[in-house]
Amino acid sequence: MLVALPDAEDLVARLAAAVRPHLAANTAIVGIHTGGVWVAEKLRDALGADYPLGVLDISFYRDDFSRIGLHPQVKPSRIPFAVEDRPLLLVDDVLYTGRTVRAAMNELFDYGRPSRIQLAVLIDRGGHELPIRPDFVGATLAIPPDQNIELQRIEDRLSLALK
């Protein structure tokens, strides 16, 4: 099955338009390492406001950590703002099983109790294994289970590829 992938930059613009009316002034944006961080940075730029930006590396929070081991490029999480009672926009590139988002929420609660967490994803590819659904989505695509969508960043431009 051949799947045509949309332009990632267009999807970020679509996400920004969908998200804009729903963000409170004190919302912080949190990207999940790596692709979610790239999308979060582009999304914040597209929103044209100075929302605080945080970065999560959920490697130690994954429920398959003992099975797959530690990713060789673990990066530190960086949440340079108070999470307690703050609305958060959690951003990832591709939503598949929901396990990455679950791990991200577990880590976020270690920083405090946000007033609300909304989820924005560039692509929802289906195949959810947990009851996690995005509040905002750039595109919903049916991708065969044996293929993956990879977000790439070349210079300052995002693009999507099937692997």
> What DSSP assignment string belongs to 105-122?
HHHHHHH---SEEEEEEE
Q: Is 4 a member of any domain?
A: no
Q: Considering its fold, how many domains does the chain have in total? A: 1
The end-to-end CA distance of the chain, in Å, is: 13
| E strands present in the chain | 28-32, 53-56, 87-95, 116-124, 136-140, 149-154, 157-162
- Residue 118 CA, chain-centre distance (Å), reads 10
Q: Is 15 a member of any domain?
A: no
- Tokens representing 103 are 């791990």
Condensed to tens digits (0 to 9), the pLDDT of residues 54-106 reads 999 998 776 655 555 555 566 789 999 999 999 999 999 999 999 999 999 99
The two beta strands, 149-154 and 157-162, are: antiparallel
Residues 98 and 101: their CA atoms lie apart, in Å, by 5
Q: Is 137 left (phi over 0), alpha (psi -120 to 50) or beta?
A: beta
51 in Cβ contact with 30 (< 8 Å): no
33 in Cβ contact with 75 (< 8 Å): yes
Report the CATH number at residue 111: 3.40.50.2020
Q: Is 5 a member of any domain?
A: no
Condensed to tens digits (0 to 9), the pLDDT of residues 102-157 reads 999 999 999 999 999 999 999 999 999 999 999 999 999 999 889 999 999 998 89
Q: Tell me the residue range of the domain where 144 lies.
A: 26-162
